[in-house]
Structure 1
Amino acid sequence: NQQSAHHFHLKPSQLSLLDQADLVISIHPNFETGLSKALNSIDSSKQFIINKQVTNHHSWLDINHMQNFAKLLADKLSQIDKNNSAIYHNNLAQVDQKLEQLKHDINQQLSKYKATPIATFSNTFEYFIKSNHLQKSTAVTQSHGDRLSIQKILKAKQTMQAKKTKCLLSTTEIPSKRINV
């Protein structure tokens, strides 16, 4: 399946499954535009929206956010299915332990880069940078949906040179063939 994670369309059979679901978990209706219309037709008590109050929906890049999400999800599942509440909370404890270990491992691996200025192509990595106490020098665009312009590139290049930035984080916005390593 070559559909974009942000711009896709559900098949009628998938829409039917959503209507029958006990719980629908989504990042945010504006994040998954293909789900927007479908989510609006689902009873809000059956929805679990992860990022209701934020504009940057890449919160899974912050382990603390994911630990909070996991707890809220375990609580919600326990409300829906009381008979399996102990299983959900046992799974939560296991996930939390793994996330704590991941947090520790990432902190160790990034410790030597804490003072290194890092540029980002867009705001996608904001949560990762902040939660790991990294130094962001600039972002080329505000979000990965923004149009790129020569002016934005030149401004980012100037900032990167002035702050001696040697690292640019990007997702798929920059094709690998265009990266000069």
Structure 2
Amino acid sequence: MSAANADAPSVVATIKPIHSIAAAVMEGVGEPEIIIDGAASPHGFALKPSQAALIQGADVVFWVGPSLSASLAKPIEAIAADAVEVELMDAKGIDLLPYREGANFDAHDHDHDDHEEHADHDDHDHEKHEEHAEHDHDEHDHEKHADHDDHDHEKHEEHAEHDHDEHDHEKHADHDEHDHEEHAGHSDHEGHDHAGGMDPHIWLNPDNGIAIAAAMAETLSEVDPDNAATYRENAAAFAERIEALEGDLAETLAPAKGKNFVVFHDAYHYFEHHFDTEASGAITLTPETVASASRVAEIKDQMSDLNVTCVFQEPQFDAKLVDVVLEGTDARKGTLDPLGTELENGPDLYPNLLTSMSQSLADCLSGQS
């Protein structure tokens, strides 16, 4: 990559994959800075003074949003007050998916119709969201939300008022506007709020990666109009590269089709869904919290019932829990890294990340690891 132009905007990205996409879009103009580098996890991240200084001096800050990095929400708001802050979960063209609940991902989570029911993010199905938001008391609503013999009026008022409890329908939300308050609701939980919230690991869908690049190009073109043509050309070249790569990824993943596997935490839904290779469950939903004994037992039962082939650990977190889950089974252990921890930063990291994940899945599930 060329050295940064003295007149290039100061751009900060929070995590390695987002930094990589920004580097691809900025190539030939400048280089973005990164906040969460190496093996650091965005979940519960503690900002250092040097990193705060990067944010303070930024013209543009690209981040996924508080549902991934809750600890950065206040610093970005406070010390990047003069910067253009882009929350990429809100970006145009981003296909959002809901979190899956429980240790075992139910069969309906694998069904494409169910994803359309939760959120048809291509068409932004307003009728379904309005059904959740307004809770119309028609026959369909009675079937979906309430058996009036079992649920009292207080619960209906709870839904109608959108209280912030485990049935927080505000988190199912209007995905056209991607309400900032919806995402801010995650911040109380240092990363993940699974009560109906949307999964923030958006970059693991290659189509979302392309949408992120396009959003970055438009933002940078507004901030730095002299280089607008370069940003847009770079985003178009990035899109072509990723679209060409997708065929290779699908071919690599072919041996993984129909094989059951368990992931460390529910970080891969976008990748799995895009390539129709879905996990059977996750050891933990919140990586900062140690899974309970009952959850581990539930996963082990699931592994036995479904003849799980592989359990995937992550380099950001202790693998001891994975070893406990594997004990007494014939399943293999693999590694999936959603951040590209060991990959070199730069425009090549993002495609290399997708390639590495595909190969890791295929190797473990086909018995080559």
* TM-score grouping bracket, smaller chain normalisation: 0.7 to 0.9
Deviation of 1:33 (Å): 4.2
Alignment equivalent of 2:270, drawn from 111, 127, 133: 127
AA partner of residue 100 (structure 1): E
C-alpha displacement at 1:85, in angstroms?
1.1
Answer 1 or 2: which has greater helix percent. Answer: 1
Match of 1:48 in 2: 86
> Which of 57, 61, 67 is 1:24 aligned to?
61
The 8 Å contact of residues 260 and 310 in structure 2, kept in 1 or not, is answered as: yes
Task: Report the Cα distance in structure 1 between the residues aligned to 2:215 and 2:280, rounded to whole angstroms.
Answer: 34
- Closer, same or farther in 2 for the Cα pair 1:130/1:119, shift >3 Å? same
**One-letter amino acid matched to 1:175:** A
What are the Cα deviations for residues 70-105 of structure 1, in whole angstroms up to 9, with x where unaligned? 111111111111111110111112211221122111
Q: Is this contact kept in 2: 1:138–1:156, CA < 8 A?
A: yes
1:124 Cα deviation after fit: 1.2
**Paired residues of 1:118 and 1:134 also in contact (CA < 8 A):** no
**TM-aligned CA deviation for residue 30 of structure 1:** 4.3
Distance in 1 between the 2:54 and 2:240 partners? 32
* Distance in 1 (alpha carbons) for counterparts of 2:286 and 2:273: 16
Paired residues of 2:266 and 2:282 also in contact (CA < 8 A): yes
More deviation, 30-39/59-68 = 30-39
Change (3 A) 1:145 1:96: same
Q: TM-score scaled to structure 1, two decimals? A: 0.85
Change in Cα spacing, 1:122 to 1:97, as seen in structure 2 (3 Å) is same
Q: 1:15 to 1:174 in 2, by over 3 A?
A: closer
Q: In the alignment, is the contact (CA less than 8 A) between 1:117 and 1:165 conserved in 2? A: yes
Number of positions where the alignment pairs a residue of Structure 1 with one of Structure 2: 180
| Greater Cα shift, 16-25 or 62-71 | 16-25
Equivalent position of 2:240 in the other structure: 97
Q: Is the contact between residue 58 and residue 125 of structure 1 (CA under 8 Å) also seen in structure 2?
A: yes
Find the aligned partners of 2:87 and 2:198 in 1 and give their Cα distance: 13
Which stretch shifts more, 31-40 or 146-155?
Answer: 31-40
> Structure 2: any 5+ residue segments left out of the alignment?
1-36, 91-177, 179-196, 327-331, 334-369
Highest relative contact order (Cα 8 Å, sep 6+), 1 or 2? 2
Alignment RMSD (CA, Å)? 2.5
Moved over 6 A (4+): none
Bigger Rg over Cα: 2
